[in-house]
Amino acid sequence: MSGAEAEKLEIVPLESLRKFAVQLTEKAGAKTEHAQVLADLLIAADHRGHFSHGMNRLEYYIEDLIKGYNAVDKEPEILKQTPATALVDGNNCLGPVVGKFCIDLAIEKAKIMGIGWVCAKGSNHFGIAGWYSMRAMEQGLIGMAFCNTSPFMIPTRGKTQTLGTNPISVAAKGNNSEEFVLDMATTAVAQGKIEINRRLGKSTTLGLAVDRDGKPCTDTDEILDHGGLNPIGGFEKTSGYKGYGLGFMVELFCGILSGSRFGQNIRHWACHDAEANLGQCFVAINPEMFAPGFEGRLSELIHHCKDQQPAEGEREILVAGDPERNHIELCTQLGGIPYHKKQMDFADHLSEKYGVERLHRL
């Protein structure tokens, strides 16, 4: 997003967003400390430019709380552990609460043992996976986060929703604040991106999704209500089977390893009629347990990619995490996060529906 484009949008200070999200979540019954974790996660998503997983998702969490499908009086608990591993029961708490507990546990183990591998069952939608991997990165570790989700991926050669968007994130810090932050769905696009297009009245790009018959589709209503998403790569001839394999791998780490629901056993994301019981996996690795000079070599590779001559018509080469850093810089210049009017209309709808003060605009 350019500065000129941002000027046409409505700017909301981060603190106003945080207050809004906390008040709404508390009103739905959550503990203050749980509401604060959720607010931090949602704001981080929008701050990094991932609007599909930020305030756009707030009502999803609120509905689960109000209808009793998220616990408001429990905390995640460790079921069993070794010095380097743990199995956690999220006890149906908010997904970000479970995820924060798990990545912090993995970090603690990695600092001692060199690696911490923590799987969780009984969890819920946990937002952007990068929020957890970056939490480890900020402490000098390599962070990884994975989550299974409601089935929306159409397997290669199929037409039935079988796997989720099943995100992957890996984050590591080099020298001079240089970072590699990979945060991606294993589908060709995140489901939330299709939702945003529908809210804005736009179609989606050809090749990302299919209709009810497994045929290419750009209509967001057909995709969301009847069809599904392609794996990364799209169709078989463009290597979609690789994204299909990655999505299956995430399911192995999350649903299969933790004993949670998996595949088609997971409830539909928009149905607030049962516990989600999602599976998640969090990993922290201590580079100091391996060859010295990790940060320097990572920075060297980053520069090998970024400092080469761009292709004709391109301005620069990016590495994973650069677009998000650019968006954060834009937000700093603007004094807040820029939102489309329709996104603000939806926020105003939430304030009226649940009786909290509207978001303050600059």
**Tens-place pLDDT, residues 215-262:** 999 999 999 999 999 999 999 999 999 999 999 999 999 999 999 999
Q: Is 10 in the same domain as 85?
A: no
Average pLDDT estimate for 17-46: 96
Residue 164 structural domain: 76-188+230-307
Q: What is the mean pLDDT of residues 303-329?
A: 96
| 342 or 167, higher pLDDT | 167
Residue 249 Cα distances to 100, 147, 254, 255, angstroms: 22, 11, 9, 10
The model carries a pTM of: 0.92
Confidence check: pLDDT of 2 > 70? no
Residues 152 and 297 grouped into a single domain: yes
**pLDDT value at 3 more than 50:** no
Are 126 and 43 within one domain?
Answer: no
- Say if 194 falls within a structural domain: no
Confirm whether 208 is domain-assigned: no
Rounded (5°) CA angle 95-98-100 = 105
Q: When comparing pLDDT for 57 and 283, which is higher?
A: 283
Mean pLDDT throughout 286-314? 97
Q: Is 62 inside any structural domain?
A: yes
CATH of the domain at 146: 3.30.1370.60
Angle between helices 14-27 and 58-66 (to 10 degrees): 20
Distance from C-alpha of 230 to C-alpha of 84, rounded to nearest angstrom: 36
Contact 36, 96 (CB under 8 A): no
CATH of the domain at 58: 1.10.1530.10
pLDDT band for position 272 (cuts 50, 70, 90): low
Q: How confident is the model at residue 58 (pLDDT cuts 50, 70, 90)?
A: very high
Neighbours of 1 (CB within 10 A): 13
Tally of structural domains, the chain: 2
> Could you tell me what percent of the chain has a pLDDT over 90?
84
Q: What is the 8-class DSSP label of residue 84? A: S
Calpha distance 322→41 (Å, rounded)? 19
**Is the pLDDT score of 1 beyond 60?**
no
Same domain, yes or no: 181 and 106:
yes
Is the model's pLDDT at 4 over the cut of 60?
A: no
Determine the pLDDT at residue 5: 55
For 5-25, the pLDDT digits (tens) are 545 799 999 999 999 999 999
Q: Which of 167, 163, 165 is nearest to 155 (CA)?
A: 163
pLDDT tens-digit profile of 172-230? Answer: 999 988 999 999 999 998 887 898 889 888 999 999 999 999 999 999 999 999 999 99
Contact 338, 17 (CB under 8 A): no
Same structural domain, 281 and 343: no
Instruction: Please report, for residues 24, 199, 221, 301, the alpha-carbon distance to residue 347 in angstroms, rounded to integers and kept in the order given.
Output: 11, 13, 22, 42
**pLDDT at residue 277 above 60?**
yes
Same domain, 80 and 53: no
Question: 196 lies in a domain?
Answer: no
Percent of the chain with pLDDT over 70: 97
- 247/303 same-domain check: yes
Instruction: Please indicate, yes or no, whether residues 299 and 360 belong to a single structural domain of this protein.
Output: no
